[in-house]
Amino acid sequence: MIRSFLLLLMAGALAACEGVAAEAGAFADAGPDAGPDAGHTGKGDDPADEVDVGAPFDMGHADAALADAALAVDAAVPADAAVPADAGCDEPNAFVPPGPRLAWRHDLAAVLATAQGAANHRGQDVVALEGDPQLLIGKFAYGLADKDLKDEDVEVFTQTDAPCGAWQSLGLDTTSEDGEFGDRFGVADDGGRVFFAVPEALPFGWHPVRMLVRGDHSLAAFRLAVVRPETRAVVFDIDGTLTTGDLQLVLELLAEVFRGEHVPEMYAGAPAVAQAWADRGYLVVYLTGRPDLLRRMSEQWLVDHGFPPGVVHLTDTLGQTLPTSDGVARYKAEFLRRLQDEAGLEFFAAYGNATTDIEAYAAAGIPKERTYIVGPHAGEAGTVPLSGYVEHLPDALAAPPAPTPAPPVGGWW
């Protein structure tokens, strides 16, 4: 029952190891205004926001809290995601499961899986080259144990002309048994997966995807971005790069478990920098070492803090979260190279805070003169030190427009 809980806290703690101690040493003697963007926004400065680790631990509450952080049928679209003025509708046409629930293929196994707790279904955003095959990957599991749902029906939907258009079915598939499909697009089939090949390639643009479990109408939600060759992109790490430290994620998870509240603090000006790149036609990629169970939580944080919509990618295994060359550095480098090789992306700039970010970006061939590092490792290995996003904004605004722009995106759908 505690496998996923341990995975989440271990992942956060491991990610924190690399940056927290050095960060504390660098700024401990510099006073309250030290560090980049000391006037950051977000919770955490008020004593009321502190996590009370003396509060009684409640496994049932932990299950519910982590389920709230995952994607479920009632929370497919991030809250407060605004509809663009020119979208043609006042409210998004939210996905509604069509028709009644269908019978499970395996009654007993399905009941055992769904009895574990709330749905933890999720998917990774996909970037595909226009005209190329498009593979959509979903993971279906329940409860704190992340119990896989195997050999059950899942229907795949996408929305035309998001966020106002109609939803159409792309077809039906079944969740996998362990190892049934091997490795696909760098994702190992650990069971409970759907590897869905889109029958007719979707056109240039952003396409919201919903994978619906027909047995109980729970779902996974993510996006497909169809791009043209040589689309330019900018990649951002999240923890310690957009948030003020790797420890912020750990505090958020502890707060959820111990019935508190903690919103990870953000470096002031970070959303404006990301928006500047998006406005100039660059595809924004948020690449994090967080476990994929935290997709909903991570995406909601980006929405709440005003970051532009973009590709969100999290780890699929615990090993990928390790703050080592063979862990998160390799995971990030392989993902970036895959987008370069298979989707034709050109990564023009990158933002990070850790030595593993520096290593991954270098392995992907991103120029050091456009690799911006914040925190204790700023400027290491020939990278550009980032003293603050507010000060850096003029540089982002002065970037050349992307020769091949990314598809326009109307919001976080």
The span from the CA of 269 to the CA of 190, in Å, is 39
- pLDDT at position 191 is 92
Give the residues of the chain that fall short of pLDDT 70. Answer: 1-87, 185-186, 246-262
Using alpha carbons only, what angle is made at residue 17 by residues 15 and 21, rounded to the nearest 5 degrees? 135
The CATH code of the domain at 70-227 is 2.60.40.10
**Which of 236, 266, 206, 223 is CA-nearest to residue 408?**
206
- What are the backbone dihedrals phi and psi of residue 336, each rounded to the nearest 5 degrees, phi first? -65, -45
pLDDT digits (tens, 9 = 90+) for 193-250: 999 999 999 999 999 999 999 999 999 999 999 999 999 999 999 999 999 876 666 5
The strand pairing partners of 311, in sequence order, are 285
- pLDDT at position 319 is 78
pLDDT digits (tens, 9 = 90+) for 181-190: 877 766 778 8
The span from the CA of 18 to the CA of 109, in Å, is 41
Superfamily of domain 3-55+230-397: HAD superfamily/HAD-like (3.40.50.1000)
Q: Which residue has the tokens 């089939």?
A: 189
pLDDT digits (tens, 9 = 90+) for 98-133: 999 999 999 999 999 999 999 999 999 999 999 999
- pLDDT at position 77 is 53
- pLDDT at position 326 is 87
- Burial (CB < 10 A; 0-12, 13-18, 19+), residue 398, is exposed
Q: 95 and 165 in contact (C-beta within 8 Å)?
A: no
Q: 290 and 321 in contact (C-beta within 8 Å)?
A: yes
Q: Do domains 3-55+230-397 and 70-227 have the same CATH topology?
A: no
Q: Where in the chain are the domains? A: 3-55+230-397, 70-227
- pLDDT at position 83 is 67
Q: 411 and 208 in contact (C-beta within 8 Å)?
A: no
Q: 321 and 15 in contact (C-beta within 8 Å)?
A: yes
